[in-house]
Copies of this chain bind each other. A is one copy, B any other.
């Protein structure tokens, strides 16, 4: 049979029409409310409304969506096999913000999960986003090709993060890691530190590049020599107790570790090596983070760093997306924006005397 809805006992506009003795068109007109129904006789209006009430009519959302072209659904995709609903996950605050604002705007959320059927599925999954009126993209990196073709077809997309590789075509709401990191260097400098080490993980993503770039920018602004602001890129295995000792002997009293990664491997490697070497925080060595400790353990000291306004990024991304979906005018400057991060004071102190 075509359409199993009738069999499901659903009430249609035609049922109301029959009961009220009008046409289905009139029912639709009345039920759509305000503007149009001005042109409908009050008595007719009331009859239809009464009939609708009596049958406890409710519009079929699918039909409604098909006819009007909108479904008030916002897709979310994170380019991962399973959706990062994981508790101690960095993505979590984004989602909370997204969800909050989506609800506030009267939309609902479509979570695209990357079906298990397709293991390395990034690009394969993307087209399914079209089910929604528009979609949010979240994640450290993404499938460029799939995103491009979505954009090409005019599908409204907003990326949560900075991404300029596609020029002005991809709207986004990102965090200003460059400024935040430069400021962090400055803060440490104010505390008295003069030589810095930046420890970055192997993974590269725009957010990582931005952080490192901010480190360089900050050092430059302070007039530091290249050797006073070195960058170590590592998977952690080559940060040995000797490494840390050598830093200190070199007068490098402040280490900045990459934040925003899932496990903060860089910071952890430094902490472990320091512990073995008998180097104490923050008396001997200061450790700061280009971000905050998300799933931070009981009793562990809070590291100096900055907080990324993830929830707010989520909210703003939703607002931007809805503007794009509804065709509201969005000036170019508002299509790509960076939010600033706020300083987080932790256990970092001045250098040992």
Cα separation A173 to B7 with both chains bound (whole Å): 26
Cα separation A87 to B89 with both chains bound (whole Å): 10
Which residue of B is nearest A6, CB measured?
B69
- B58 near A128 with CB under 8 A, answer yes
- B73 near A66 with CB under 8 A, answer no
- A66 near B155 with CB under 8 A, answer no
- B58 near A131 with CB under 8 A, answer yes
- B82 near A99 with CB under 8 A, answer yes
CB proximity to B under 8 Å, residues A143-189:
146, 149, 152-155
Given contacts A67-B3, A131-B71, contact A106 B96 (CB under 8 A): no
Which residue of B is nearest A129, CB measured?
B58
B60, B128, B299: which contacts A130 (Cβ < 8 A)? Answer: B60
Cα separation A26 to B65 with both chains bound (whole Å): 25
> Cβ of A8 < 8 Å from any Cβ of B?
yes
Given contacts A57-B127, A153-B8, contact A108 B103 (CB under 8 A): no
> Cβ of A100 < 8 Å from any Cβ of B?
yes
Cα separation A112 to B58 with both chains bound (whole Å): 14
Which chain B residues lie closer than 8 Å to A112 at the CB level?
108
Which residue of B is nearest A93, CB measured?
B87
> Cβ of A39 < 8 Å from any Cβ of B?
no
The winner among A62, A67, A87 for most chain B CB atoms within 10 A is A62
Which residue of B is nearest A98, CB measured?
B85
B60, B99, B130, B299: which contacts A85 (Cβ < 8 A)? Answer: B99
Number of this chain's copies in the assembly equals 2
Which residue of B is nearest A1, CB measured?
B69
> Cβ of A137 < 8 Å from any Cβ of B?
no
The winner among A9, A95, A126, A299 for most chain B CB atoms within 10 A is A9
Task: State how many angstroms separate the Cβ of A72 from the closest Cβ of chain B.
Answer: 8
> Cβ of A105 < 8 Å from any Cβ of B?
yes
Cα separation A184 to B63 with both chains bound (whole Å): 52
The winner among A8, A81, A100 for most chain B CB atoms within 10 A is A8
Which chain B residues lie closer than 8 Å to A353 at the CB level?
none
Which residue of B is nearest A299, CB measured?
B298
Given contacts A111-B109, A116-B105, A128-B108, contact A65 B68 (CB under 8 A): no
- B113 near A102 with CB under 8 A, answer yes
B61, B95, B127, B152: which contacts A131 (Cβ < 8 A)? Answer: B61
> Cβ of A282 < 8 Å from any Cβ of B?
no
Task: State how many angstroms separate the Cβ of A10 from the closest Cβ of chain B.
Answer: 6
Cα separation A1 to B318 with both chains bound (whole Å): 26
The winner among A100, A113, A154 for most chain B CB atoms within 10 A is A113
Question: Which residues of A are at the interface with B, using a C-beta cutoff of 8 A?
Answer: 2-5, 7-11, 56-71, 73, 81-83, 85-87, 92, 95-96, 99-100, 102-117, 126-128, 130-131, 146, 149, 152-155, 298-299
Name 11 extra pairs, CB < 8 A, besides A3-B67, A58-B128, A103-B115: A4-B68, A8-B154, A9-B153, A9-B154, A73-B131, A85-B96, A86-B96, A87-B87, A99-B111, A108-B111, A108-B113
